[in-house]
Structure 1
Amino acid sequence: MTKPGTSHDTFKQGPQDWLCQTAGATAPSGGSEPHAVGSVAAIFQWPVRVYWEDTDAGGIVFYANYLKFFERSRTEWLRSLGIEQQQLKDSTGGMFVVTETTLRYHRPARLDDQLTVTASMIEIGRASMIIKQQALLKTEQSGEPSATLLCEGTIRIGWVHGASLQPGRIPASILDSLKT
């Protein structure tokens, strides 16, 4: 079992294990325009097990629950960078909000499936960022040589002032953490 906040080269088998692997990407600094992150970005992975509450009457994961899985992965990714969202709101008065999602479903997940849910930055600007996310069925369950893609999407996250919910600029210290 691993501790959040550490990096590993391979994904372990336990339900609490996760991976944050860096593959040489760097994000540009400065400027107010959005910047595409390097062609090979850091990929954060978080394990998710499918429970009864996640499934529909047909016994497969209800489509909207993939958004919940993606939210968990993004939240844990932020934590791995030292960004706690409640503490961030308390200290800055601002917060991240989802402003746009695009999802594509490839295959269903079922009860007790063990998934790996990824998050990787593909673009970052002064007021928003775009995260690519995937839900993958672990190779041990799929019988395939690599994990099976179940759902993928892009999520645009914007920064707003907590009291007014008006758009604002992401604080420089947070931008620096996100670009590492």
Structure 2
Amino acid sequence: MSISSSGFSWPLRVYYEDTDVSGVVYHANYLKFFERARTEWLRSLGYSQESLRHEVEVAFTVSRVEVAFRSPARLDDQLIATVAVTELKRASLVMTQQLRLGDIDGRLLAEAEVKVVSVDAASFKPCALPDGFRNRVQTVENAASRNPSSSAA
């Protein structure tokens, strides 16, 4: 199933620990920012990584990431990370993510396409997304695509 929506957004700030010697965000830290946004997106749906793992015995693992770096983030920058589900399959989700400056400019800093696979928490073998989770994603993402101003922040 393909889903198009305005997605979910989460605010972040760049700390000293995120930067390299030149004062810009080290490239690997963009993956951390994207991960934090996906985790908060999951929480916004009423789930946590731990509850899925312990109660439903499902975990998510990233199977593919493609990142395009557009402009550097710098120390103390306020950022906005977004998550939008673009594809929902039996055992996986594909999401597009953006990292933008959180000011009026909203300059695009990086964008990624991330494929996340549902796996059995014990064996780490692919398994179907839980029905309740799948239904919640479809409901929320479809509502967001009908009403772009409904994105969580």
Does the CA contact (< 8 Å) of 2:11 and 2:102 recur in 1?
no
For structure 1, the 5+ residue unaligned runs are: 1-34
For structure 2, the 5+ residue unaligned runs are: 140-153
Secondary structure of 1:77 counterpart: helix
Q: Percent identity?
A: 42
Give the C-alpha shift of residue 120 in structure 1.
0.5
Quick one: which of 48, 56, 79 aligns to 1:92?
Answer: 56
Secondary structure of 2:27 counterpart: coil
Residue 171 in 1 paired to residue 123 in 2? no
- What TM-score does the superposition give when structure 1 sets the normalisation length? 0.75
Secondary structure of 2:118 counterpart: strand
Within 5 A, what are the aligned runs for 1:3-22? none
Aligned match of 2:20: 56
Give the C-alpha shift of residue 139 in structure 1.
2.7
Secondary structure of 2:65 counterpart: strand
Q: Deviations over 1:110-139 (max 9, x none)?
A: 000000000000000110010100000123
Q: Deviations over 1:41-92 (max 9, x none)?
A: 0411100000000001111000010110001101101101101110111011
Letter in 1 for 2:65: T
Secondary structure of 1:36 counterpart: coil
Does the CA contact (< 8 Å) of 2:78 and 2:103 recur in 1?
no
Secondary structure of 1:87 counterpart: helix
Aligned match of 1:128: 92
Secondary structure of 2:85 counterpart: strand
Within 5 A, what are the aligned runs for 1:86-165? 86-140=50-104, 144=105, 147-165=106-124
After TM superposition, the runs of 4+ consecutive aligned structure 1 residues lying more than 3 A away are: none
Number of residue pairs matched by the alignment: 139
Secondary structure of 2:80 counterpart: strand
C-alpha separation between the residues in 1 aligned to 2:54 and 2:102?
Answer: 37
Secondary structure of 1:95 counterpart: strand
C-alpha separation between the residues in 2 aligned to 1:138 and 1:95?
Answer: 31
C-alpha separation between the residues in 2 aligned to 1:93 and 1:139?
Answer: 40
- What TM-score does the superposition give when structure 2 sets the normalisation length? 0.88
Higher radius of gyration, 1 or 2: 1
Higher RCO (CA 8 Å, separation ≥ 6 residues)? 2
C-alpha separation between the residues in 1 aligned to 2:90 and 2:44?
Answer: 21
